[in-house]
């Protein structure tokens, strides 16, 4: 009882501390101010008044505190190629659940300068960055709004120069088509402080629309207490994606990064690090058109969940229900929490290909295939083509398993170009060796990068 009370008291202290910090920040701000270009002697009551008074390409500057009684940002629309510039720290507060805030229309921009931060709280839709609009360098913090929408281009000069921090219950309208982020840091944190009338166990979701996908270039994406990510495909380049999924009951066991596939594009992950923590299903593909290519990248998957759910619902680091994964010059690290979780399982028409200089690390100690056939710390091909698991390079830390039937295999082949010979696991006597030159069935040598 003492420990429980201590935890509650600590939580209250932390909560009060947060409130005090926010109150101090707000009280330190001067009254809100809106002006055009460099003339701050003429001010405007609302953003829409400033837009009406300005010309195409003008800069609308803002600063200070706009509290819940101030209508300056109610249904505000910045258009005509104008730029909304946050000149110094600015807080915009709202207490009407049906009130929207700022819309940045196509051709217009929003940015902050001089190290300032834009803070918005309590809006139905705090910011609507429409397609064709741009969010540029600055610090943006959105807390407990129903939605923030970034359909335009989020483009900075570096990850440190453009930081977007969103705390909300859901992120289902963060983007409707392409999440186009470049040279930026994006932080998403699921909050249960304000649920906007939704069920308490329904938070943490990102868009699940048919075409919603990622286009990341030099992005740091940090997600905390997210639940499910679904998209047809993603392009992730020179980026670091770190997602700590919810493991406290918010999502039950629906925590995964799922690719449904598309004929429009494959998923390309290049020169990037993908880290999925506290995930129940890890990376999932659900159609034959879901093609994931990892090149010069690092994939870290921490599978978690209780034993009962893991046993009943196939808790796995990578599970391919159709779909194709190819990993080359990369590193895949999968850890599990209990004996009813698997590193990699694929079935149907799926394929899993490992190319040169790739490292695959699993716990390498579990084989419960006598109880559930796919429960092996290995890459398991289940009722699929015998040529679905292809290896032409790499090093593997896995639990060795002797295949006893055609319905399950942990033995790769060397691919169609080498006549799909079944390979054999062995350990190099000389760990300094980085490449082998095996001879295939055709009597031809091919390169096998060990890594």
Structural domain includes residue 281: yes
Higher pLDDT, 387 or 3: 387
Query: Is the predicted pLDDT of residue 14 greater than 50, yes or no?
Result: no
Query: Is the predicted pLDDT of residue 56 greater than 60, yes or no?
Result: yes
d(CA 267, CA 259): 9
Q: For position 228, what pLDDT does the model report? A: 86
Query: Is the predicted pLDDT of residue 198 greater than 80, yes or no?
Result: yes
Domain that holds residue 305: 227-451
Quote the number of domains for the chain: 1
Burial bucket for residue 299 (CB in 10 Å: 0-12, 13-18, 19+): buried
Least confident of 34-38, 210-214, 356-360: 210-214
Q: How confident is the model at residue 386 (pLDDT cuts 50, 70, 90)?
A: confident
pLDDT digits (tens, 9 = 90+) for 337-348: 999 999 999 999
Query: Is the predicted pLDDT of residue 8 greater than 50, yes or no?
Result: no
Q: For position 199, what pLDDT does the model report? A: 86
Query: Is the predicted pLDDT of residue 53 greater than 80, yes or no?
Result: yes
pLDDT digits (tens, 9 = 90+) for 246-272: 765 555 557 999 999 999 999 999 999
d(CA 419, CA 424): 15
Phi, psi (deg, nearest 5) at residue 347: -150, 180
Structural domain includes residue 299: yes
Residue partners of 116: CB distance under 8 A and separation at least 6:
63, 86, 87, 88, 89, 90, 138, 139
Strands 33-36 and 59-66: antiparallel
Query: Is the predicted pLDDT of residue 24 greater than 60, yes or no?
Result: no
Query: Is the predicted pLDDT of residue 101 greater than 70, yes or no?
Result: yes
CA 266, 272, 277, 279: dihedral to nearest 10 degrees?
10
- In contact, 380 and 410? CB cutoff 8 Å: yes
Consecutive H or E run containing 419: none
Structural domain includes residue 315: yes
Structural domain includes residue 342: yes
Q: How confident is the model at residue 82 (pLDDT cuts 50, 70, 90)?
A: very high
25, 133, 303, 311 from 280: Cα distances, Å: 39, 37, 6, 11
Tokens of 18: 């947060």
Structural domain includes residue 72: no
Helices (H), 179-338: 307-312
The mean pLDDT value for 65-90 works out to: 98
Query: Is the predicted pLDDT of residue 400 greater than 80, yes or no?
Result: yes
The mean pLDDT value for 100-125 works out to: 98
Consecutive H or E run containing 20: helix 2-27
Structural domain includes residue 209: no
Phi, psi (deg, nearest 5) at residue 31: -60, 145
Least confident of 10-14, 163-167, 221-225: 10-14
pLDDT digits (tens, 9 = 90+) for 416-427: 999 999 999 999
Q: How confident is the model at residue 6 (pLDDT cuts 50, 70, 90)?
A: very low
Query: Is the predicted pLDDT of residue 12 greater than 80, yes or no?
Result: no
pLDDT digits (tens, 9 = 90+) for 141-188: 999 999 999 999 999 999 999 999 999 999 999 999 999 999 999 999
Supply angle C-alpha 334, 389, 328, rounded to 5. 60
Residue partners of 245: CB distance under 8 A and separation at least 6:
223, 225, 226, 227, 251, 255, 276, 277, 278, 279, 280
The mean pLDDT value for 269-298 works out to: 97
Structural domain includes residue 7: no
189, 274, 318 from 221: Cα distances, Å: 11, 10, 21
Structural domain includes residue 282: yes
pLDDT digits (tens, 9 = 90+) for 288-315: 999 999 999 999 999 998 899 899 999 9
For the chain, give the longest Cα–Cα distance: 84
The mean pLDDT value for 321-339 works out to: 97
Query: Is the predicted pLDDT of residue 93 greater than 90, yes or no?
Result: yes
């Amino acid at each position: 009882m003492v420990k429980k009370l201590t935890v509650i008291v600590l939580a209250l202290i932390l909560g009060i501390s947060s409130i005090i910090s926010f109150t101090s920040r707000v009280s330190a701000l001067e009254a809100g101010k809106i002006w055009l270009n460099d003339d701050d002697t003429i001010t405007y009551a609302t953003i829409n008044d400033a837009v009406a008074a300005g010309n195409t390409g003008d800069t609308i500057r803002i600063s200070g505190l706009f509290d819940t009684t101030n209508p300056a940002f109610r249904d505000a629309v910045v258009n005509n190629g104008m730029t909304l510039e946050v000149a110094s720290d600015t807080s915009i507060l709202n207490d009407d659940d049906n009130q929207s805030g700022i819309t940045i229309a196509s051709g217009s921009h929003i940015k902050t300068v001089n190290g300032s931060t834009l803070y918005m709280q309590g809006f139905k839709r705090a910011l609507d960055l429409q397609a064709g609009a741009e969010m540029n360098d600055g610090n943006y913090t959105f807390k407990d709004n129903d939605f923030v929408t970034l359909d335009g281009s989020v483009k900075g000069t570096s990850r440190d120069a453009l930081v977007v921090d969103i705390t909300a219950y859901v992120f289902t309208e963060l983007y409707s088509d392409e999440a186009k982020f470049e040279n930026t840091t994006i932080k998403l944190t699921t909050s249960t402080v304000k649920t906007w009338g939704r069920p308490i166990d329904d938070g943490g979701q990102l868009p699940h629309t048919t075409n919603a996908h990622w286009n990341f270039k030099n992005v740091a994406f940090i997600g905390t207490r997210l639940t499910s990510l679904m998209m047809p495909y993603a392009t992730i380049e020179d980026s670091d994606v770190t997602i700590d999924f919810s493991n406290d009951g918010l999502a039950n066991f629906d925590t995964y990064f799922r690719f449904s596939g598309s004929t429009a594009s494959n998923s390309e992950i290049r020169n990037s690090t993908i880290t999925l923590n506290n995930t129940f299903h890890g990376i999932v593909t659900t159609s034959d058109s879901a093609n994931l290519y990892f090149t010069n990248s690092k994939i870290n998957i921490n599978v978690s969940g209780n034993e009962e759910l893991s046993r009943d619902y196939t808790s796995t680091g990578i599970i391919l229900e159709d779909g194709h994964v190819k990993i080359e010059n990369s590193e895949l690290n999968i850890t599990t929490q209990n004996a009813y979780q698997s590193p990699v399982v694929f079935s149907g028409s799926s394929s899993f290909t490992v190319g040169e200089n790739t490292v695959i690390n699993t716990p390498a100690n579990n084989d419960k295939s006598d109880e559930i056939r796919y429960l092996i710390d290995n890459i398991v091909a289940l009722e699929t083509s015998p040529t679905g698991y292809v290896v032409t390079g790499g090093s593997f830390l896995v639990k060795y398993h002797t295949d006893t039937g055609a319905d399950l295999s942990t033995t790769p082949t060397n691919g169609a170009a080498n006549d799909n010979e079944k390979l054999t696991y062995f350990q190099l006597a000389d760990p300094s060796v980085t490449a082998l030159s095996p001879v295939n069935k055709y009597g031809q040598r091919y390169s096998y990068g060990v890594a």
